[in-house]
Amino acid sequence: MLSPELALVDPQLRTRAMVLLPPVEPFEFLRVLRQPARTSDLQRFAFLAQYGEVEPSRRPPPVPLAAAAYVVVALGRALVIYALAASVIIGLVAIANMLG
C-alpha cells in the first residue's frame, strides 16, 4: 500500500505511484456520453408503406364552433374550481365561528 501523502513528498514514491496508475485513454469520458445506435425511421415506419395516400379534407374545420366549445368548457372548469374554493372558504369560516 502506497501512502498518497508520502508520494507527494518523496520523488521515488511519486514515480512508483505514477507507474501503478492505470493507463488513461484520451477522450475516454466521451464513451459514457455516446448514445446507442438508433434504428432508422424508415425501418420504424415501414409499415406505413402499405397504405395508400390519404385525400385531404375538402371542407375546413368549423373554427367558430370549436372556439365556442372551448369557451364553454373553460367557463365550466372555472366555475367548478371557484365553487369548490368558495365552499372550502365557507366551510372554514363556519368551523371558525363554531369554535370561537
Each residue's pLDDT tens digit, 57-82: 777 778 999 899 999 999 999 999 99
Question: Largest Cα–Cα distance in the chain?
Answer: 86
The answer to the question of residue 37 being in a domain is no
The answer to the question of residue 20 being in a domain is no
The answer to the question of residue 79 being in a domain is yes
Residue 1's pLDDT is what?
62
Closest CA to 72 of 62, 60, 61, 64: 64
The answer to the question of residue 39 being in a domain is no
Total domains, the chain: 1
Contacts of 8 (CB under 8 A, 6+ apart): 14
pTM of the predicted structure, to 2 decimals = 0.38
Are 23 and 30 spatial neighbours (Cβ–Cβ below 8 Å)? no
The answer to the question of residue 54 being in a domain is no
The answer to the question of residue 91 being in a domain is yes
Residue 37's pLDDT is what?
64
Are 17 and 2 spatial neighbours (Cβ–Cβ below 8 Å)? yes
Domain span holding position 74: 61-100
Question: Which helix (DSSP H) or strand (DSSP E) does residue 69 occupy?
Answer: helix 63-99
Residue 20's pLDDT is what?
84
What's the CA gap between 16 and 6, in Å, rounded?
11
Residue position matching grid coordinates 415501414: 46
Q: Which stretches of the chain score pLDDT less than 50?
A: none
